[in-house]
Structure 1
């Protein structure tokens, strides 16, 4: 239970740190009107001001807390039971394969919760609403007025399973990225926080968390591009028939580098976000572990 609570708080803090760059990343991946990161940032600010970078954040704050709680909770419990099954006792140093498999399972489970929320987030982030006077806003009403309205509209127009558009791409992305995420964190933490130098633990956790996030997003970005395009598909008309069609059509139209759109931005965003996530997670865990035992 301690891991579920610590994971929820860590995830919420991470969202607040990385959301503006996440909005830029989604727009670059799904809209061809931007020539690069800086052009997207300037265009967003010019048309929508600061609020444009935080569109749809209320939904991720609540749902990422839940999905992050599930990820860390499932990971730790899966690792606990896997070690118990393999070695007879749970309190042993797990192998790298144990960590990888537990992370893979955690990524698969959390998709059930994260897919609808991620759908609403992407649709709201790609919806351009000019920041202007009341008279102007009356003339150009956005399609979605908020996260809940977005989810209800999707269900009305595309059916319940419209909330899970791109979920296979999301699952493929998250299974591999979370497996890599937890494995790389464990490896980096061993490097940066030697047992005999416990006084360097804080800096070690920050570096390990940040680098783990960068490695995980390097693995996840190609499928993240496809996931975002499938989620946006159908706002005006449906273009893609599925994951494979989206991949082949995107590569044919824009070249293979389209799969790496937003990679640099993902890595820049991932470092501070996951520094905060793991620092919060480890700190909360230290505080509540004595009460949970």
Structure 2
């Protein structure tokens, strides 16, 4: 049973990432850089300069690759890792790790609460949740979670980009103070709209894929 849950979770997670990756790239660029006027300007500039979006397996490498506007610095994930190790050492690969933990630990705790509440609210008593209930519950869970995660997500993106030509920060608190001083409280909600637009379909598909796979792997006893 745990192994089947692992397989179902892995597949559904991959499906969700595939759905959300293009908007994730735009979100990173809006948070880490100030050269874009808004969502559509960022999307237009990215597509006109680079075509279809890139992908990377590690969060730091993903952010570095998403954040660059040309291929002059990094030619791909492996080259990105090599450059980071050469210029920053092994510690460079963990840049922004504390901010990532501060973002993810409380948000993963929150993640399943709105899902369960919404799913139960949309399901008749004694019946299995339908496709619409799962999709809506997954979407709501994603939006609620990212609403709480966005401020620290901004800090994480800025710390991760600070070793790649971006503004240098000494740590999480310095990044928060400097960002607030220079841009005001609004800076911590950069990318919130994109996070929400991305989170709803990504998590709706993720939960639907997981629930569907578990029903296939473990059909209910009749």
Equivalences for residues 155-166 of structure 1 within 5 A: 155-166=85-96
Shift of residue 39, structure 1, vs aligned partner: 1.1
Structure-2 separation of matches of 1:208 and 1:164: 33
Question: Could you say which residue in structure 2 is the equivalent of 1:270?
Answer: 199
Equivalent position to 1:279, from 192, 208, 214: 208
Per-residue CA deviation, residues 188-223 of structure 1 (Å, 9 max, x unaligned), is 11111233343x511110000011000000000000
Higher percent of residues as helix: 1
Cα distance between partner residues in 2 of 1:186 and 1:219: 18
How many angstroms does 1:238 deviate by?
6.2
1:252 maps to which of 173, 181, 193 = 181
Contact persistence 1:193–1:205 (CA under 8 A)? no
- Superposed CA offset, 1:134-156 (max 9, x none): xxxxxxx5211111211121112
Q: Is residue 2:38 matched to residue 1:44?
A: no
Correspondence for 1:188: 118
Alpha-carbon deviations, 1:147-171, whole Å to 9, x = none? 1211121112111121111111101
Distance verdict in 2 for CA 1:237–1:121, change over 3 Å: closer
Q: Is the contact made by 1:166 and 1:228 (CA closer than 8 Å) also made in structure 2?
A: yes
1:17 counterpart (15, 19, 30)? 19
CA distance in 2 between counterparts of 1:47 and 1:3 reads 41
CA deviation after TM superposition for structure 1 residue 237, in Å: 6.6
Secondary structure at 1:128's aligned position in 2? coil
Distance in structure 1 (CA, Å) of the matches to 2:39 and 2:86: 34
Aligned length: 217
The separation in 2 between residues aligned to 1:262 and 1:128, in whole angstroms, is: 18
Q: Among 51, 59, 64, which residue is 1:123 paired with?
A: 64
Equivalent position of 2:9 in the other structure: 7
Report 1 or 2 for greater relative contact order, CA contacts < 8 Å, sequence distance ≥ 6. Answer: 2
Q: Answer with 24-33 or 151-160: which moved more.
A: 151-160
SS in 1 for 2:163: coil
Q: Name the CA distance, whole Å, in 2 between partners of 1:265 and 1:211.
A: 15
1:229 matched residue in structure 2: 158
Q: Which residue of 2 aligns with 1:99?
A: none
Give the TM-score normalised by structure 2: 0.93
Q: Does the 8 A contact of 2:158 with 2:166 survive in 1?
A: no
In 2, distance between residues paired with 1:16 and 1:281? 15
Higher Cα radius of gyration:
1
Query: What is the rounded CA distance, in whole Å, between the counterparts of 1:6 and 1:164 in structure 2?
Result: 29
Secondary structure, in 3 states, of the residue corresponding to 1:195? coil
- Contact residue 150 and residue 192 of structure 2 kept, 8 A: yes
